[in-house]
Amino acid sequence: MNAPITAAHLPLTDAQAERLRTLVGELSPAQLLWVSGYLAAHAQHGGDVPATPAATAAGALTVLYGSQSGNGAKLARRLAELAQARGLAVTLTSTADYKPVRLRDERTLALIVSTHGEGEPPDSARELHEYLHGRKAPRLESLRYAVLALGDSSYQFYCQTGKDFDAAFEKQGAQRLFERVDCDIDYDDAAAAWMEQLLGRVGSAPAVRATPALTPVGGGMQYDKRNPYQAEVLENIVLNGRGSDKETRHIELAVPGLSYTPGDALGVLAQNDPRLVDELLSVLDLSAEAPVSVGGVTLPLAQALTGHLEITALTRPFLAGWAALAGADRLTALLADGNEAALRAFLDGRQIIDVVQEFALPGLEADAFVGLLRRLPPRLYSLASSLAASPDEAHVTVAAVRYHSHGRARAGVASTWLADRVQPGDTVPVFIEANENFRLPADPQVPAIMIGPGTGVAPFRAFLQEREVQGATGQNWLFFGDRHFHTDFLYQTDWQGWLKDGLLTRMDVAFSRDQARKVYVQDRLRERGGELYAWLQSGAHVYVCGDATAMAADVHAALRDIVAAEGGLGAEAAEEYLRELARTRRYQRDIY
């Protein structure tokens, strides 16, 4: 234990010792190490190392990331490593751990943040987002900043959270180092260029440094989407019973070279349906062997379309490019300002094949078509296993997506690839996507409430496997929902075994189609409101996994109403109760 700072220990006056003690108490470990190096340099050079705020800002960088799935965290870590290599003192922080009032003291800030749902910030960045857009937002004239926004251009509110933060910083008087960069799902090159530009603007640091080595953000860092692990398929089993109108697969993979933690996701590099590739080639009258360049590598067109490029989801950039090439006035009109409702109606249920058929473009060159497409993104699946319980294995739960729209059968890229064309003995390119925002309590005695309808239940199988191996004594309560009890009770024998053994303290289920009135997990939450609130008051952690469009909002509303009713609180106070749970990592969501 460190001794208190007093004049008896150091050649300081009592007033100096008090000021030093106050400063030390406000600094993070990384900042303490930087200050120690800075003061050593100051003493070594007889006070020649400048200590003005401007000089200090040139050698210090705060890297802040708000990430739901882990992409932002990985990019932030990469930026911090590059900055350290250039001699900068770096503070790397998640928005989940960042106290908004610290913004007043920041001098140079790099923010990497993603957007989810209808332009919403990730859960970890919600508090900072509200703070900067609220009445308490401070003036930030001393702050220099840069924003890297992550998003998906197939959504209406593309990179909206990054845009929000950028505008809020500017409104409060902060100085933008350079224009915000908005990244689509194929973000690597744009993010690398943004980092290089940022580091060029921040400048170099004083010569003497004592910055710590960065600790990993998550496991499996040696494999990623550019260098995937080839995992052998061990099992590929349908979980639904006969007669179900759903198809949910339990897939087990051999992954002796990977490490992960319950709560993480498995990234899968899928392939497009070869039948869709053939149809596109036929409609466009292009040769399967036509050479095209993808990421600086020359490939036959069919190979590029099968394994490297997105050929299903329609995005605004694709529509704009196709409209320009085809001279399609209707598409141009849809993309004009003020036509958002018409554009969304057009996009609904359509894919690239529909556009190239309806707005024909004879004589199109292969490279021109490829130039309109973005890279095929990996699909992320919550891990349904614990390495402690299933060594060298990774299990995922996959719902096969199949539907009809505009007179055509549609299929999910990765889900039907795994369901229809991947068999035991095949290999699948995968990687681990760490999710530090979805973790079991560090204390095995802490109770856990888990809410996961459909495939959202997958990570809770991993949680319970992990707690079983740990010998955890904390109570566990699972809420699960699906359509029918007899055909859609996913992992039923697992839950029943854990209920019998006492690991699973209780389980509430909601099968929506088994009665006239549809019943969902949020209805079960409300029915158990008193007991659920008692668990919260006893320190339980709450986890929600699954659909972000409706389920997550409905569950949140149910939790808020329960807190209000059982705690005797108003709606805003109940919302603040949930915000405090989120701030303390007791309310975590993995929604998609």
Give the start-to-end residue ranges of the domains of the chain: 14-202, 229-270+378-433, 274-370, 448-591
| Cα→Cα distances 319→154, 316, 468, 544, Å | 10, 5, 51, 35
Among the ranges given (118-122, 168-172, 411-415, 526-530), the one the predictor scored with the smallest mean pLDDT: 118-122
| Cα→Cα distances 356→227, 345, 352, 489, 582, Å | 33, 18, 6, 41, 45
Tell me, yes or no, if the two domains 14-202 and 448-591 fold the same way.
yes
**pLDDT over 60 (residue 210):** no
- Domain 448-591 fold is Rossmann fold (3.40.50)
| C-alpha span between 588 and 441 (Å, rounded) | 11
Q: Which CATH number applies to 274-370: 1.10.1040.10, 1.20.990.10, 1.10.3720.10, 3.40.50.360? A: 1.20.990.10
Specify whether the CB–CB gap between 559 and 514 falls below 8 A. Answer: no
Q: What is the pLDDT of residues 527-566, one digit of tens each?
A: 999 999 999 999 999 999 999 889 999 999 999 999 999 9
- So what's the pLDDT on residue 205? 45
- Domain 229-270+378-433 fold is Elongation Factor Tu (Ef-tu); domain 3 (2.40.30)
- Residue 582 neighbours by CB distance under 10 Å: 18
Specify whether the CB–CB gap between 509 and 417 falls below 8 A. Answer: no
| Cα→Cα distances 562→44, 450, 577, Å | 61, 16, 11
Q: What is the CATH number of domain 14-202?
A: 3.40.50.360
For residues 495 and 221, which has the higher predicted lDDT (pLDDT)?
495
- Torsion angles phi and psi, residue 402, rounded to 5: -140, 135
Q: Which of 24, 27, 19 is nearest to 3 (CA)?
A: 24
Q: What is the reported pTM?
A: 0.83
- Torsion angles phi and psi, residue 74, rounded to 5: -65, -40
| C-alpha span between 137 and 135 (Å, rounded) | 6
Residues of the chain with pLDDT > 70, as a percent, come to 87
Looking from the CA of 262 toward its CB, the CA atoms found within 13 Å total 28
Q: What is the pLDDT of residues 394-421, one digit of tens each?
A: 999 999 999 999 999 999 999 999 999 9
- DSSP reduced 3-state for 405: strand
Mean pLDDT in the chain? 89
Among the ranges given (50-64, 266-280, 306-320), the one the predictor scored with the smallest mean pLDDT: 50-64
Q: What is the pLDDT of residues 321-375, one digit of tens each?
A: 999 999 999 999 999 988 889 999 999 999 999 999 999 999 999 999 999 999 9
- So what's the pLDDT on residue 155? 85
- Residue 134 neighbours by CB distance under 10 Å: 10
Place of tokens 């007889």: 46
Distance from chain centroid for Cα 280: 32
Q: Which of 506, 375, 387 is nearest to 449 (CA)?
A: 506
